[in-house]
Structure 1
Amino acid sequence: MASIIVGLETYPSFTEKYGTIVNFLEHLILGFFIAEIFIKIGAEGSHPWSYFKNGWNLFDLFIVVALLLPIDNQYFIVLRMLRLLRVFRLISALPRLQILVRALLKSLPSMGYVFLLLCILFYIYGVAGTFLFAENDPIHFSSLPKSILSLFQVVTLEGWTDLMYIQMYGCERYGYDGIEALCTNPSALPLVGVIFFVSFVMLGAMITINLFVGIITSNISDSVDEFKQEQDKKLEKVIKEQNQFSKVSRVEGQLLAIQEQLKDMHSSLERIRTDISDY
Structure 2
Amino acid sequence: MLAETRRKAVAERARPVVESSGFSAAALLSILGNATLLALETYPHLFRAHGALLADLQHVFLGLFALEIAARALAEADRPRSFFTDPWNIFDLFLLVATLVPFGNSGAGVLRLLRLARVLRAARMLPHVRLIATAIGRSLPGMVGFLMVGAIVLFLYSMVGWMLFGRSDPEHYGTVGLAGLTLFLLITLDGIGDMVRSGLDVTTWTIPYYVSFVLFASFLLVNTLIGVVITSLDEAREAAGGESAAPAAEPAPAPVVPAQGLRSHVGELRSVLLALEHAVREEADGREVASREVRGPR
Structure-2-length-normalised TM-score: 0.65
Q: Which residue of the other structure, out of 232, 236, 244, is the alignment partner of 1:219?
A: 232
Give the C-alpha shift of residue 159 in structure 1: 0.9
Aligned-pair CA distance for 1:49: 3.2
Say if 1:45 and 1:137 are closer, same or farther in 2 by CA, change over 3 A: closer
Q: Name the SS for the 2:65 alignment partner.
A: helix
Tell me the equivalent position of 1:175: none
2:75 corresponds to 1:62:
no
Three-state SS of the structure 2 residue aligned to 1:70 is coil
Q: Distance in 2 between matches of 1:59 and 1:232?
A: 28
Alignment partner, residue 207 of structure 1? 220
One of 182, 195, 219 as aligned partner of 1:163: 195
Look up the match of 1:258.
none
- The answer for the alignment partner of 2:65 in structure 1 is 33
Cα distance 1:41–1:77, how it changes in 2: closer, same or farther (>3 A)?
same
Shift in Å at residue 142 of structure 1?
4.2
Would the aligned equivalents of 2:164 and 2:203 in 1 still touch at CA under 8 Å? no
Residue ranges of structure 1 left out of the alignment (5+ in a row): 171-186, 237-279
- Looking at structure 2, the residues matched to 151 and 75 of structure 1 have their Cα atoms a distance apart, in angstroms, of 36
Instruction: Give yes or no for contact 1:153–1:160 (8 Å, CA) kept in 2.
Output: no
Query: Could you report, residue by residue, the CA deviation over 1:218-252 in whole angstroms, capped at 9, with x for unpaired residues?
Result: 0011111222334456x68xxxxxxxxxxxxxxxx
Instruction: Please name the residue that 2:134 is paired with.
Output: 102
Shift of 1:137: 4.1
Q: Does the aligned pair in 2 maintain the 1:41–1:49 contact within 8 Å?
A: no
Moved over 6 A (4+): none
| 1:136–1:188 Cα contact (<8 Å) kept | no
How many pairs align? Answer: 216
Q: Give the residue type in structure 1 aligned to 2:219.
A: M
**Separation in 2 of the partners of 1:82 and 1:137?**
42
Structure 2: which 5+ runs fail to align? 1-32, 249-298
Letter in 2 for 1:211: T
Q: Distance in 2 between matches of 1:122 and 1:76?
A: 38
Aligned pairs for 1:3-42 (under 5 A) are 3-42=35-74
SS state of the match for residue 196, structure 1?
helix
CA RMSD of aligned residues (A): 2.2
Give the match for residue 144 of structure 2: 112
Distance 2:64 2:158 in 1: 54
Equivalent positions of 1:67-216 (< 5 A) are: 67-168=99-200, 170=201, 187-189=202-204, 192-216=205-229
CA distance in 2, matches of 1:216, 1:27: 38
Quickly say closer, same or farther: Cα 1:144–1:58, change in 2 above 3 A: closer
Q: Which amino acid aligns with 1:56?
A: W
Q: Give the partner amino acid of 2:58.
A: E
